[in-house]
Amino acid sequence: MKRFTLFTFLYLALGVCLTAIAFGYPNLPSGLQTSLFASAGASYLVCLFSTFPFWREATLRVYRRRNSAIILPWLVIGVNIIVTIWELQSQNWTMEAILQVFTRLLIVLIFAEIIVITWQVNSEH
């Protein structure tokens, strides 16, 4: 059975936004435009995968195998935020820097979903 969660729709919305930005700004550098399209495609794939039960089950298996794995998502999100702010500041908040940040949102969403799943498991027990 397919399962739709809030994160499924967030992945879909991220993919739509990245695609719209890539198509809306045709004068972007080709590397950045390719990165936007690649991130949008990855977001669509994660959206599709997140509807299947194996997505949640795989997260739960890793969590149960290594109970300390709950720290990893927090570290990834924190480091991602710090690096993002550093890059934005060093590039003076240019349009290219802001668009590069959008390509990292998928990583933050995936790890945020892992945190939510582990919270749900902990609240059930």
pLDDT at 78 over 90: yes
Does a structural domain hold residue 45?
yes
Q: Residue 104: inside a domain, yes or no?
A: yes
Question: pTM of the prediction?
Answer: 0.86
- Here the tokens at position 98 are 């802001």
Is 95 among the domain residues? yes
1 within domain boundaries: no
8-24 pLDDT tens trace: 999 999 999 999 999 99
Domain span holding position 11: 6-124
